[in-house]
Structures are given as C-alpha cells and as structure tokens.
Amino acid sequence: MVWQAAEKALTRLFQLPAMTNSARPRRQRETASRVLRNARRLSAPCQSERRRRRRLWSGARDLGNSPTKHATLVDRTALVVETAVTEPQTSPSLAAIPPPPRPRPLKKIVSTCADVVRNTHDTVTLSFDVGEQPQYTAGQFISIDPKQFTELSRQIAFLEHLKGKKEKHRAYSMSSAPAERYVSITVKAEGFDAAHDNYPPLLSPFLASEGMKGRSVQFIGYTGAYVLPEGHDVITRQVLHLVAGSGIVPNYALLKDELLQAKHPSVKHTMVYVNKTADDVILLAELEELRARFPERLQLIHRITRAPESDDLSARGAHWLRGRPTSEWLKTIVPDPSTVWVYACGAAITEHQRAAAKVTGVPATPRFMEGVEEMLHALGVTKDRFKKEEFG
C-alpha cells in the first residue's frame, strides 16, 4: 500500500532498522507513528488537497523541536511522505533518497574582509576569508554583532538608551555559494524612513561604506531554513523566485549553487526580480551571466516599477518589463501552480507600521511580501510550496 512505501522511505530517511525500534526515544517513535498515520489517511481519495497537505505538515513539523533548527529535516520528511502518497507509480525509488545532513552547530567565526565590491550606488559585496573552506548551505545567513566596531560605540550607546535594551546581532544572507573560497554578503546601505522605521539603521551603512577591506570581522554562522532540499526534483520541475531589492541575495546564492554545481538538472528556475529603477538592480552582471550561460535552466525577468519614460527598457532585452508582477501575469510563466516551488524574499510590513496601524485604526500599506502572498493565493499555490524571507 501507499503508506507502506512511506514507512519504508521514512525508515531509510532516519537510518533506522525499524520504525518501532525500542532504542529510539519515545517522542520520536510517537512522532514517526503520527506521520505514518497521516500517510495512511492521506492515501484516501476523499481527502481534499488542502486537508491532505495540512495533515502531512502537522506530522512532519513534529519531527523537530524547532521548525527553523530542523527545517531541512522537516522538508525532507514532507518530501518523502508526499511523494510516496501522491506519486507511488511514477516517482523514483524513495529508498534511494539520501538522508538530510545533520544540522551544523553554530559557532563564532573570526574572518578577514578580503574584498569589497560595489554593486550599485548603495550596495556592496563583502567577501570574508575564514581561513578554511566554509561549511554551509546556499541560502543561509550569518549574524554580525555591531558592538565589535568601535566606530559605532556612540551610536550604539544612544540607541540602547532610547530603546531601553541591548543592541542585537544583525543577520545578513550570504550571496556566496558553498563551493566558493570566501563567505560573501551583499549589503545595502538602508536609509531611515519614518513611515517604516522607529530608528535609523545602525550596521548596514557602516558595512557598505567600502572601508571594510582588510579588517577583522567576527560573525556567528551558519544557519537558516531558506534552502533548497536535496532531492526536490522528485516533486517539482520549476522553482519560482520572487524577489525585490536586496531580497535577491539569498536567491542568487541558491541559483549559483544549483546551476554551477549542476544540481537537479531537470528543474528549471524562473527568477522574477522587482526593482524601482534599472540602476537599483543588485548583482546585475552576475545574474545576466548566469542567464546567458544556462538558458535552458534559468529564465530571468526584471520588473521595473518606477522607470522614467526616458528609459527604454525594451532596449535592454525582452526580459525587462515595466510594472509590478500580477497573479494573471504569473500564470503565463508558471505552467503548473500545483507543483511549483516558490522562494520569495523582500520587504514586509514592519513592526513600526503595525503599531502605527493599531493607534490610527488605518491598516498598514502592504509591501512586497504581502503582495506576493496575495498573488500566490490567487494563483492557487499552497503554503507548503512557498518559502519566504522577510525584512523591513
């Protein structure tokens, strides 16, 4: 039966001799049993698609104490069970899918900033030499403590006085891929906008000042669940990237890792990159190079929302379009919304905006990520096929 295939796959996934092995912790045995019960119920034809997926993920998420810490394990479990349930006749042998790697422990890393490259008028890429080949997964991030930079001591003291609490580490997605020598982050020098922010940015303008080359930088790494699991080609043939502004950073890392390392060659990537003007496009040359090198696997589409009339976008190529993407337009580039995987990264409504909305009674103006969720809902993409990273 279908659920028996899921049981065999899960047994292989956890590298256990049997699902009822008494040596396993009780909680893990109970969780595995719950997943298998869901698999049995999921095989019933009367179950709706939404209820089927909800049950699948309710069992899969219990496999870890933290959805973030164990996201790779959760993704792999969902992949295994859903494939066994929905595609028992056509899917490759699930027993051949390797288990996910164990989560790596976080550690403090001392690096030297080996290079600084300016990408746009307000964005730079910093490359850190960590003294060894870094071990992480494309799409993850590092955390940097602003207190290590003495130049920021006065600003930190002032902000801590205003906030009444200590300044925290800042998280930066890596734009590098694991096969590269350096760990790289691409940083935009954000400005202060009273409509969105309570306080001016502290660390990003400092990092993006081009004065970092040769400096020692400590950070904590590597972590994050915004990753593509191994074996995702079993259940999808298209990954849709919806990004805006500096949201390109983790998705660029995902693209590089998949394309340059020839991973999952049957999967096509569609990148929709939204910016205000063409001059705001981060990593433009690098993206266009990937597009030219992998035309069969990468479809790159630029959406420019505030391009001046004097800027003839068509002269840049047919993949440069005016205006924001819409759900109707997405239908033209997503052949099968029921199987597409979506990775979206961009600005979302901030806590400052939410607090102001409560005071005024006027709903906060939706930003990029709220628009993405609305489009995907209209398109019929279910939440289990949608991963997001938000900032703001």
Architecture of domain 107-223: Beta Barrel (2.40)
CA-to-CA dists, residue 91 to 45, 48, 297, angstroms: 19, 21, 22
Helix (H, G, I), strand (E, B) or coil at 315: helix
- Could you tell me which of 226, 276, 257 has the C-alpha nearest to residue 389? 226
**End-to-end Cα separation, the chain, in angstroms:** 48
Q: 157 near 149, Cβ under 8 Å?
A: no
CA-to-CA dists, residue 136 to 5, 50, 221, 338, angstroms: 31, 33, 8, 30
Q: Of 3.40.190.10, 3.40.50.80, 3.30.1060.10, 3.50.50.60, which CATH number belongs to 232-391?
A: 3.40.50.80
Burial class (CB in 10 A: 0-12, 13-18, 19+), 295: exposed
Q: Please give the chain's pLDDT, 392 residues, in tens.
A: 444 444 454 444 444 433 444 444 555 555 555 655 555 554 444 444 444 445 444 444 444 433 333 444 444 444 444 444 444 333 333 333 355 566 678 999 999 999 999 999 999 999 999 999 999 999 999 999 999 999 999 999 999 999 999 999 999 999 999 999 999 999 999 888 887 788 999 999 999 987 899 999 999 999 999 999 999 999 899 999 999 999 999 999 999 999 999 999 999 999 999 999 999 999 999 999 999 999 999 999 999 999 998 999 999 999 999 999 999 999 999 999 999 999 999 999 988 888 888 988 999 889 999 999 999 999 999 999 999 999 87
The residues spanned by each domain of the chain are 2-96, 107-223, 232-391
- What own/partner pairs with CB < 8 Å and gap ≥ 24 does 288-291 have? 290/255, 290/256, 290/259, 291/319
CA atoms of 307 and 312, how far apart (whole Å): 9
E strand segments, 121-237 = 123-129, 141-144, 170-173, 183-188, 216-223
**Can 107-223 and 232-391 be said to share one CATH topology?**
no
pTM of the prediction?
A: 0.75
Phi-psi category of residue 224: left, alpha or beta, with phi > 0 → left and psi -120 to 50 → alpha? left
Helix (H, G, I), strand (E, B) or coil at 363: coil
Q: Return the half-sphere exposure (C-beta side, CA atoms, 13 A cut-off) of residue 122.
A: 11
Written as one letter, the residue type at 131 is G
Burial class (CB in 10 A: 0-12, 13-18, 19+), 77: buried
Handedness of CA 68, 287, 177, 212 (dihedral sign): negative
